[in-house]
Amino acid sequence: MTTRAVMGVDSSTQSCKVEIRDMDSGVVLGSGAAPHPPAFPPSSEQHPNEWVGAFVAAARAAMSACTATPDVRAISVAAQCHGLVLLDEHGDVLRAAKLWNDTTGAPNLARLVDRIGARQWVMRIGTLPTAAFTIAKLAWVAEHEPGLLDRVATILLPHDYLTFWLTGERVTDRSDASGTGYFDSVEGQWIPSYLEVAGGPRDWAAKLPTVLGPADAAGRVLPARAAELGIGPDVLVGAGGGDQHAAYLGLGLTDGDQYFSIGTSGVVATSSRGPVFDTTGAVDGVADMTGGYLPLMSTLNAARVVDRAAVLLGTDLAGVAELALAAGPTRGPVLVPFLDGERTPDRPHARGAFADLTSSTTREELARAFVEGPLLSLLSGRDGLIACGVDVSGAATAVGGGARSPATLQLLADLLDDEVTVPDVDEATARGACIQAAAVATHADRAGLVDLAKRWQPEARTRVQPRRHGRDLGGLRARWAALAASPILDGGER
């Protein structure tokens, strides 16, 4: 008998990963992955055609990995947030997409904040946009490629584009729309007037996708696309969502749970039923994929910092972890890890800095500082959530490539003085997309989507307890905060 299944897609900065799961039990039937071309700030771009090619390759690999050909009933796509995809009237891509970590629009964003007003912007959309946000990239295009805007018929986000490729429908969801800088998630409305500030007077409303609800169907997979993917006909497609939002859904987390994602970017988040408005700009009060909100803080510099440590210390990632865990009870040295500029705080031109080096500093202490620096950034973000009145009293969960490091997990548990759990799941984002797809396939409502996520919640793979380490972590955090606020970090040259 053919197994009813769903397909979840995670189109990240580095690659496209696809999972196929049993629609009823959530068991993985097959998975596949394919790389995207590398992209680095400040000018970080990928062509959407590259995403399509990787999606097709990953989907075919996932289908081939199944022991029997599954009957795929629905697909949902989650992807990197904030990217700018511009289509002409025929639905063709006009230029390579500017990605979330493209910081070239920083000067444009600063001018937008001056014109719109920081407080007004936060109180309208729940977030003070940074150079990562879509509106900054659109403003950059308006300044540097003004003729291109005359040809723009549709503005999409990365996950929207893959949904469009599948269905021909121009749609998005609340979670990803809330990271554009021009969507009011409380009212559920686009704000075309902000786009006029960024790109001049045009019929912006006509260029924006329809915003769907958490379990709404975007449409059905076009026959030609189904053939490319190797799936059958009449497959529904969900609204999709942002990658971190899908990961939170995929882990079955709930309000107050602490979510730490340590990958290319770093994220600390929890969910809430009500909106969050942080006028300091530290917390993004974005929407989630269940009809609520996912207040979060996101950083540019996370796992790559440890990659750089391996190069500089002449070892590999396992070697960095071993060194870091062997460091003595000293407080420092301290690393502010703004290696490629930073998103939170909004410091696009900042550079990283070491402090408190002495003639007795060891390789072990340097390794620990490299691992600890990105975690201190995330703990600063957690402080921001607390300052906004957000409950973060729940369990701490760590995901992402960085969470494979025993040093990262141990140092995070030490800093939190609490247990850190790594769920038994390799691809939380693709898993969340599968959950949404299953809700769409079964015509579930929002409550049904949440119940499904709980039923599919993974078990713990690893639990790490804090150590009795003898370090002055309060002093470490205070020292890091003072260094991170220093304007001298913005004075470096490449």
Question: How many domains, in total, are found in the chain?
Answer: 2
- Beta strand 154-156 with 85-87: parallel, antiparallel or unpaired? antiparallel
Task: Give the percent of the chain with pLDDT over 90.
Answer: 91
Region for residue 234 given its phi and psi (left: phi exceeds 0; alpha: psi -120 to 50; beta: otherwise)? left
Tell whether 270 and 240 lie within a shared domain. no
Which of 245, 271, 295 is the endpoint of a domain? 245
Provide the Cα torsion 256, 384, 273, 133; round to 10°: -130
- Banded model confidence at residue 1, pLDDT cuts 50, 70, 90: low
107-116, 159-168, 274-283: the lowest-pLDDT one: 274-283
pLDDT digits (tens, 9 = 90+) for 454-479: 999 999 999 999 999 999 999 999 99
Distance in angstroms (rounded) separating the CA atoms of residues 243 and 241: 6
Residues 251-271, mean pLDDT to the nearest whole number: 93
Tell whether 414 and 304 lie within a shared domain. yes
Residue 35's domain comprises 4-245
* Beta partners for residue 355, in sequence order: 334
Answer with the residue of higher pLDDT: 130 or 206: 206
Structure tokens at 162: 């893959």
Tell whether 312 and 353 lie within a shared domain. yes
Return the number of other C-beta atoms located less than 10 Å from residue 111's C-beta: 14
Distance in angstroms (rounded) separating the CA atoms of residues 81 and 464: 30
Average confidence score pLDDT of the chain = 95
pTM score of the predicted model: 0.89
Angle at CA of residue 484, ends 481 and 489, nearest 5°: 160
Q: What is the pLDDT of residue 488?
A: 87
Given a contact cutoff of 8 angstroms between Cβ atoms, the answer to whether 292 and 270 are in contact is no
Q: What is the pLDDT of residue 482?
A: 96
Return the number of other C-beta atoms located less than 10 Å from residue 205's C-beta: 12
Closest listed residue to residue 337, CA positions, set 350, 321, 318, 322: 350
Q: What is the pLDDT of residue 493?
A: 56
Q: Evaluate whether residue 350 is within a structural domain.
A: yes
Residues 346-374, mean pLDDT to the nearest whole number: 95
- Banded model confidence at residue 143, pLDDT cuts 50, 70, 90: very high
* Beta partners for residue 172, in sequence order: 211
Q: What is the pLDDT of residue 265?
A: 85
Structure tokens at 249: 């859904």
Given a contact cutoff of 8 angstroms between Cβ atoms, the answer to whether 306 and 408 are in contact is yes
Return the number of other C-beta atoms located less than 10 Å from residue 114's C-beta: 9
Tell whether 148 and 13 lie within a shared domain. yes
- Banded model confidence at residue 492, pLDDT cuts 50, 70, 90: low
Tell whether 225 and 270 lie within a shared domain. no
Tell whether 346 and 482 lie within a shared domain. yes
Given a contact cutoff of 8 angstroms between Cβ atoms, the answer to whether 63 and 226 are in contact is no
Given a contact cutoff of 8 angstroms between Cβ atoms, the answer to whether 384 and 282 are in contact is yes
Q: Evaluate whether residue 448 is within a structural domain.
A: no
Q: What is the pLDDT of residue 353?
A: 95
Q: Evaluate whether residue 434 is within a structural domain.
A: no
Tell whether 86 and 171 lie within a shared domain. yes
Single out the catalytic residue among 10, 102, 176, 243.
243
In the predicted structure, residue 287 carries a pLDDT above the cut 70? yes
353 DSSP 8-state letter = E
Q: Evaluate whether residue 436 is within a structural domain.
A: no
SS3 50: helix
Q: What is the pLDDT of residue 343?
A: 82
Structure tokens at 37: 């071309």
Q: Evaluate whether residue 446 is within a structural domain.
A: no
In the predicted structure, residue 491 carries a pLDDT above the cut 80? no
Helices (H), 217-342: 223-229, 243-250, 303-312, 317-325
Tell whether 396 and 468 lie within a shared domain. yes
Structure tokens at 309: 């440590």
In the predicted structure, residue 107 carries a pLDDT above the cut 60? yes
Whether 284 is a known active-site residue: answer no
pLDDT digits (tens, 9 = 90+) for 167-186: 999 999 999 999 999 999 99
Tell whether 185 and 282 lie within a shared domain. no
Which of 212, 245, 278 is the endpoint of a domain? 245
Tell whether 131 and 86 lie within a shared domain. yes
Which residues are CB-neighbours of 114 under 8 A, at least 6 positions away? none
Answer with the residue of higher pLDDT: 344 or 377: 377
* 3-state secondary structure string across 307-335: HHHHHHCCCCHHHHHHHHHCCCCCCCCEE
